[in-house]
């Protein structure tokens, strides 16, 4: 009788193969789809799969069993063995705040202080928070306990080890800061958030303003005027002179629509550029839809840390 036919032996063999062939896989989750990215030689390959309808709502995975199976199947079909998963959470359901004048030794007490909350919709008793360095400052990032545990459960359904959890917006910000650090102290970053527009205003690498503009029943020129007023008010409040750089995270077909936001007479310019690091992302496999600009930035923010 061959030992290879014993189920326990096969299971041990599969575990050993995963251990020997362990590789990092970045999984980016949005409300529409899941993207997995892994390295093959010098190229980072990626594939995506669309979630079922209403599988992810408000950043919460509502069909964890089905979503876990889709994650496992995507990696299996891509012949990815020994995946060590690093998960990027969707835009919705996660919040952040800049911590001014807080020393790192007192971070834990600040995050847990119920008398002086962080001015965000998260209950400190029902959420997880962490602090990330951001330029010369500190940035608190929080997520509800139920949402984080739901995503962890989804990964467990795929029988994969989860090594790290990050946020799509934070990872994309790292790429923006990397690409603009020597080009502009002030950056206005505009990108789609569902059916709305989201504007993040960055000063020396720190996101000072984060505002969502509803586009419901509004023509684009009206929304753009609101964006322009917000930027101008921020500049007056900061009282900082110098060039303002704009970064638009929109498909090429929409990019031109926002160019009139840039006021050349006020020393403003477009900062968008191709990532010049030693990371090459493939064009996707098996007919995947192209990466959206925000997805691209977020993946690069994770992959840059791995090189």
Q: Kindly state whether residues 228 and 95 are assigned to the same domain.
A: no
**What does the pLDDT read at residue 161?**
96
Q: Note down the domain range covering 218.
A: 184-270
165/304 same-domain check: yes
Q: Are residues 113 and 214 in the same domain?
A: no
**Do residue 71 and residue 111 come from a single domain?**
yes
Do 84 and 144 belong together in one domain? yes
Regarding whether 300 and 234 lie in a shared domain, the answer is no
Rounded distance between C-alpha atoms, residue 108 and residue 146, angstroms: 21
280: in domain: no
CB-CB neighbours of 85 under 10 Å: 19
Name the H helices within 131-288: 145-157, 168-180, 220-238, 252-255
Q: Determine the pLDDT at residue 12.
A: 55
275 in a domain, yes or no?
no
- 69 inside domain: yes
Going residue by residue through the chain, which has 307 residues, state the pLDDT in tens, using 9 for 90 and above: 444 556 555 555 555 555 556 899 999 999 999 999 999 888 888 999 999 999 999 999 999 999 999 999 999 999 999 999 999 999 999 999 888 766 555 455 555 554 455 667 788 888 888 888 777 778 889 999 999 999 999 999 999 999 999 999 999 999 999 999 889 999 999 999 999 999 999 999 999 999 999 999 899 999 999 999 999 999 998 887 789 999 999 998 899 999 999 999 989 999 998 765 556 666 656 667 889 999 999 999 998 775 5
CATH of the domain at 158: 3.30.420.380
pLDDT number for residue 111: 58
Q: Is 111 found in the same domain as 189?
A: no
pTM metric for this prediction: 0.88
Residue 117 lies in a domain: yes
CATH number of the domain that 225 lies in? 3.30.420
Regarding whether 128 and 16 lie in a shared domain, the answer is yes
Which residue is associated with the tokens 């505009």?
190
Residues 158, 52: one domain? yes
Residue 7 and residue 137 in one domain: yes
- Return d(Cα 94, Cα 122) in angstroms, integer: 9
My answer on whether 136 and 189 are in the same domain is no
Instruction: Tell me whether residue 288 is in a domain.
Output: no
The order of strands in the sheet holding 137-144 is: 94-99, 137-144, 127-134
Separation CA 297–CA 286 (nearest Å): 22
The pLDDT assigned to 6 comes to 60
Does 25 reside within a domain?
yes
Asked if 43 and 280 count as a contact pair (C-beta separation under 8 A), the reply is: yes
Residue 276 lies in a domain: no
pLDDT of residue 253: 87
Structure tokens at 71: 């994650």
Q: In the Cβ-directed half-sphere of 259, how many Cα atoms lie within 13 Å?
A: 7
* Cβ count near 288 (within 10 Å): 16
279, part of any domain: no
The number of folded domains in the chain is: 2
For residues 156 and 191, state if they share a domain.
no
C-alpha angle 18-24-28 in degrees, rounded to nearest 5? 120
């Amino acid at each position: 009788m061959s030992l290879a036919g014993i189920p326990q032996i096969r299971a041990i063999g599969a575990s050993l193969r995963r251990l020997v062939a362990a590789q990092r896989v970045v999984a980016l989750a949005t409300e529409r789809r899941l993207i997995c990215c892994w390295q093959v030689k010098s190229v980072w390959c990626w594939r995506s799969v669309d979630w079922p309808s209403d599988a992810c709502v408000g950043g919460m995975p509502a069909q964890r069993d089905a979503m876990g199976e889709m994650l496992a199947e995507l990696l299996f079909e891509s012949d990815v063995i020994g995946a060590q998963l690093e998960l990027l959470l969707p835009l919705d359901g996660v919040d952040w705040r800049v911590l001014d004048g807080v020393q790192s030794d007192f971070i834990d007490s600040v995050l847990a202080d119920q008398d002086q909350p962080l001015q965000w919709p998260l209950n400190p008793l029902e959420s997880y928070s962490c602090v990330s360095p951001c330029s010369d400052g500190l940035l608190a990032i929080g997520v509800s306990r139920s949402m984080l545990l739901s995503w962890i459960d989804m990964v467990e359904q795929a029988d994969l080890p989860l090594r790290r959890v990050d946020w799509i917006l934070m990872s994309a910000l790292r790429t923006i800061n990397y690409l603009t650090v020597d080009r502009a102290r002030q950056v206005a970053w505009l990108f789609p958030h569902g059916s709305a527009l989201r504007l993040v205003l960055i000063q020396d690498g720190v996101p000072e303003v984060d505002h969502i503009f509803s586009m419901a029943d509004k023509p684009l020129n009206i929304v753009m005027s609101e964006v322009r007023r917000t930027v101008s008010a921020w500049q007056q409040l900061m009282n900082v002179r110098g060039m303002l750089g704009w970064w638009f995270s929109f498909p090429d077909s929409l990019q031109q629509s926002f160019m009139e936001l840039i006021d050349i007479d006020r020393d403003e310019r477009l900062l968008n550029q191709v990532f010049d690091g030693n990371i090459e992302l493939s064009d996707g496999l098996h007919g995947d839809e192209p990466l959206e600009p925000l997805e691209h930035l977020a993946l690069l923010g994770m992959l840059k840390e791995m090189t």
